Amino acid sequence: AQSVTQLGSHVSVSEGALVLLRCNYSSSVPPYLFWYVQYPNQGLQLLLKYTSAATLVKGINGFEAEFKKSETSFHLTKPSAHMSDAAEYFCAVSESSGYNKLIFGAGTRLAVHP
């Protein structure tokens, strides 16, 4: 069965500092991997996705993530945090073989302070 583990339910960084949000997955078949972001009082929106092409994936708002099969990881990074990056971030996995439902991690709330 597939699963996703996000390390750290809360992460706090200073404005301008590196953002690193960790995600590890478990899947018996090649996965598709996603990061979604949820801003306050809004629905989730796709930040970036890995679908078996390039292992380094670039998303919106300067975020990127690297798929590392050997480490079963898909960590999200941004070189320099903005106040506007404060939100909750969800890692998710689905199986690449045909349709399968998305399995979400528990989420990481990112706080950015001046």
Q: Contact positions toward another protein, by CB under 8 A?
A: 4, 9, 32, 34, 41-46, 49, 51, 90, 92-94, 96, 98-102, 104-107
Q: Phi and psi of 109, rounded to 5°?
A: -90, 120
Hey, is 62 helix, strand or coil? helix
The Cα–Cα gap between 35 and 22 comes to 11
Closer residue to another protein, CB minimum distance, 43 or 114: 43
Closer residue to another protein, CB minimum distance, 7 or 44: 44
- Minimum CB separation of residue 114 from another protein in Å reads 26
